[in-house]
Amino acid sequence: MTEHKKLKQWVDEMAALCGPDSVVWLDGSEAEKRRLEDAAVAKGELTRLNAEKLPGCFYHRTDPMDVARTEDLTFICTRKKADAGPTNNWMSPEDGYKRASEYFRGSMKGRTMYVIPFSMGPVGSPFSKIGVQLSDSLYVALNMRIMTRIGSRVLDVLGKSGEFTKCLHSTAQLDPKKRLILHFPEDNAVWSVNSGYGGNALLGKKCLSLRIASWLAKNEGWFAEHMLILGVEDPKGRVEYVTAAFPSACGKTNLAMLIPPEGLKRKGYKIWTVGDDIAWLRVGPDGRLWAVNPEAGFFGVAPGTNSKSNPNALATVKKNTIFTNVLLKDDGTVWWEEGEGKPPASGTDWLGRPWTPSLQDGDGKFIMGAHPNSRFTAPAGQCPSISPKWEDPQGVPISAIIFGGRRAKLAPLVVQSLDWAHGVYLGATVASERTAAQYGKQGEVRRDPMAMLPFCGYNMADYFAHWLDMGKRIPKPPKIFHVNWFRRGEDGKFLWPGYGENLRVLEWVLARARGEGQAVESPIGFLPARGALDLSGLELPNGTMDQLLEVRSADWKEELADHRKFFAKFGGDLPKELGDQTARLEARLSGAVTSS
Ligand code: GTP
Ligand code: SPV
Ligand code: MN
């Protein structure tokens, strides 16, 4: 097992608190995987899917009140409240431990506590982080097995005294009123209780790899970001890498697995997927920024995934995949809205009720078979476009960083920042319409800086300062961009076809990062010059590109007022540079100065 005294002692203490009938240390073996699957099937936690059509795949339904991250129940527990900042919920560590202990006490009675040693990043890499999650959920254990690298090999690396993040998790009664997702960055610990889903419960993901890691990154001089990583191989065989930060359910998985559209495929482009959700970035010995994907799998949004929008994702989930809250078909396969093929004539919906495509609710709205935040958990190595470098401990060198949000209006298809600090401003002012990935009013526009609003483990003002500071510490920094695939026309329809066609934007982004590519300067940054985006093979109605790239001063002045309102939250903690950026934007919008 392990000779790590502190680890053994902590496991004993937590077992004493939670009171499981037994404690089982996971070794990560294939035989163990089958044992856990069998046990989950026997308990009804998983349903085995059609062995011919979906080998090694399972189906899971969560509690209906437990289908997305709960940001209002997520807390940063630092000794000083100011360290959590105005955008995080805060609780003192004493209160956090005390309140959660009440919910954990005896919560595992009659259950098994699984001890899951896991590594974020390749096992043994100097940049990887080790965590140990204790959980009473087989579903969580099997998901962790896909999303992270688990088992004895991790304990071997940990040795007798290695550092690890203490991750305590219990589904308890799944009571939303007693749900708490607590982070103790000063203790390198996470406590999560009364949820069994996604970022609330797979503690290696958002809790460790973003909230705890962002805190470490700030102190140690690197970045932990909510970003995909992809490589673009051009016709000459050169591969250049970009990262992109979009809020939850805003297109990271889709972009990371993009397939070139016909028009550009002729040119010989190919996309290599490195990661779809989280990037850890460090300055390399060559002065460039290098990115690692700390995860080992994809926890992707199912609805909307089909062979047109994301054929690579579809191929990835053909085996060894866990499907959560999708529609279960009568033949033991699965389906979701805007999925592959026609809706099945019948099936069982995510709530376990008989379903047909014609079912309507009282208001005449069609009832979805799959929950909008239903997801698949699949091993990254199964993705046809997975990069040969996806497990390289050094990562991949980044040429461009792209921020983006889901905005019906205002934000153009793509804009390049004037310089690093302006790029940080573009990131800090990202706004997006809320999606089903979190509880709250859907569609409401909110500021989501760097797509990290729910995931930054400390005061976001300090996070902005860290971003500005890093610009000075990266000798050859990536260029920074902002994109918006979601701008809508007067008719309410998306102006840009998106998905594979987004490669046309990536092509320009990479050209600009190399110092090539034609641009015009606007008050908000560099826009593609007319004809600079390769649109060959794409039929857009007349005037659509102009609409996609339109920057209206009056609208941007309103937007600027909202930037200032958002920044005001941070009071005196906001880096002066960001205030200066608002003043410079104002001046540019008024035509008073043209920046160089
Ligand atoms: P998380 O896993 O929650 O962090 O999200 P993600 O950013 O990986 O989201 P994902 O790629 O799964 O995005 C899902 C949603 O975005 C679906 O509704 C897609 O249909 C939609 N989407 C993705 N790319 C595009 C695009 O280029 N255009 C349009 N219009 N929609 C897109
Ligand atoms: C997100 O919400 O950004 C996700 C899904 O990637 S979860 O793992 O639930 O955080
Ligand atoms: Mn995410």
Give the mean pLDDT of 109-127: 97
Selection from 57, 16, 15, 55 nearest residue 40 by Cα: 57
Single out the catalytic residue among 57, 167, 250, 383.
250
Max Cα distance, the chain (Å): 72
For residue 450, give both structure tokens: 């760097």
State how beta strands 375-379 and 297-301 pair.
antiparallel
Q: Residue 89: its pLDDT value, please? A: 98
Q: How many CB atoms lie within 10 A of CB 48?
A: 15
Percentage of residues in the chain with pLDDT exceeding 90?
Answer: 94
The band of 592, judged by pLDDT with boundaries at 50, 70 and 90, is low
Residue nearest to atom 20 of ligand 1 (CA): 304
Residues 6+ away with beta carbon under 8 Å from 456? 85, 87, 88, 210, 211, 214, 449, 463
pLDDT higher than threshold 70 for residue 596: no
Ligand 3 centroid from CA 267, angstroms? 32
Q: Residue 14: its pLDDT value, please? A: 98
Selection from 467, 465, 466 nearest residue 573 by Cα: 465
Q: Residue 444: its pLDDT value, please? A: 80
CA distance 404 to 580: 22
pLDDT higher than threshold 70 for residue 594: no
User: 44-79: per-residue pLDDT in tens?
Assistant: 999 999 999 999 999 999 999 999 999 999 999 999
User: 430-478: per-residue pLDDT in tens?
Assistant: 999 887 777 777 778 899 999 999 999 999 999 999 999 999 999 999 9
Q: Is the CB of 252 under 6 A from ligand 1?
A: yes
Selection from 406, 580, 403 nearest residue 488 by Cα: 406
CA distance 291 to 273: 12
What is the three-state SS of 97-121?
A: HHHHHHHHCCCCCCCEEEEEEEEEC
Helix (H) or strand (E) holding 16: helix 5-18
Residue nearest to atom 8 of ligand 2 (CA): 199
Q: Kindly give the number of the ligand 2 atom that is closest to the alpha carbon of 375.
A: 5
Q: Kindly give the number of the ligand 1 atom that is closest to the alpha carbon of 486.
A: 30
Q: Is the CB of 4 under 6 A from ligand 1?
A: no
State how beta strands 74-76 and 165-170 pair.
unpaired
Q: Kindly give the number of the ligand 2 atom that is closest to the alpha carbon of 248.
A: 3
Helix (H) or strand (E) holding 425: helix 420-428
User: 557-577: per-residue pLDDT in tens?
Assistant: 999 999 999 999 999 999 999
As residues whose CB is below 5 A from the ion ligand 3, the structure lists 248, 277
CA distance 116 to 167: 9
Q: Residue 517: its pLDDT value, please? A: 96
Q: Residue 1: its pLDDT value, please? A: 80
Identify whether the C-beta of residue 198 lies closer than 8 Å to the C-beta of residue 375: yes
For helices 460-473 and 420-428, what crossing angle results, to 10°? 160
Q: Is the CB of 437 under 6 A from ligand 2?
A: yes
250 annotated active-site: yes
Classify residue 61 as exposed, middle or buried by CB count within 10 Å of its CB (0-12, 13-18, 19+): buried
**Sign (positive or negative) of CA dihedral 402, 405, 411, 414:** positive
Q: Is the CB of 250 under 6 A from ligand 1?
A: yes
Q: Is the CB of 498 under 6 A from ligand 1?
A: yes
Give the chain's mean pLDDT: 96
Selection from 45, 6, 7, 51 nearest residue 25 by Cα: 7
Identify whether the C-beta of residue 23 lies closer than 8 Å to the C-beta of residue 112: yes
State how beta strands 129-135 and 165-170 pair.
parallel
User: 279-292: per-residue pLDDT in tens?
Assistant: 999 999 999 999 99
Selection from 537, 421, 547 nearest residue 496 by Cα: 547
Neighbouring-strand partners of residue 58 = 48, 322
pLDDT higher than threshold 70 for residue 593: no
Percentage of residues in the chain with pLDDT exceeding 70?
Answer: 99
pLDDT higher than threshold 60 for residue 313: yes
CA distance 402 to 404: 7
**Sign (positive or negative) of CA dihedral 243, 247, 250, 253:** positive
The band of 163, judged by pLDDT with boundaries at 50, 70 and 90, is very high
Ligand 3 centroid from CA 17, angstroms? 31
Position 560, amino acid:
L
What is the three-state SS of 30-92?
A: HHHHHHHHHHHHHHCCCEECCCCCCCCCEEECCCCCCCCECHHHEEECCCCHHHCCCCCEECC
Identify whether the C-beta of residue 474 lies closer than 8 Å to the C-beta of residue 424: no
Q: Rg of the chain over CA atoms, in angstroms?
A: 24
